Amino acid sequence: MERLDKKEINNIIDKLKRDGLYEKFVEMINDDFENHHIVYKLDSDEMIALAYKNNTIPFKMQ
């Protein structure tokens, strides 16, 4: 999986917050932990940005 630089992450997160999609991704990450006990090695903003960029959901990024 690729790594995004801080500027790319911030651009994607800002766009998601403007569009109101950020909370949806945060809820998915929390559900992944609660339901499947998945621990991600990336911080949540980078996970959200990668999921959005790759048009997938966090759980499918394993």
Residue 8, judged by CB atoms within 10 A of its CB (0-12, 13-18, 19+), counts as middle
What is the tens place of the pLDDT at every residue in 1-46? Answer: 577 889 999 999 999 999 998 998 888 888 877 777 777 777 788 8
Whole-prediction pTM: 0.69
Q: Measure the CA–CA gap between 58 and 10, rounded to whole angstroms.
A: 18
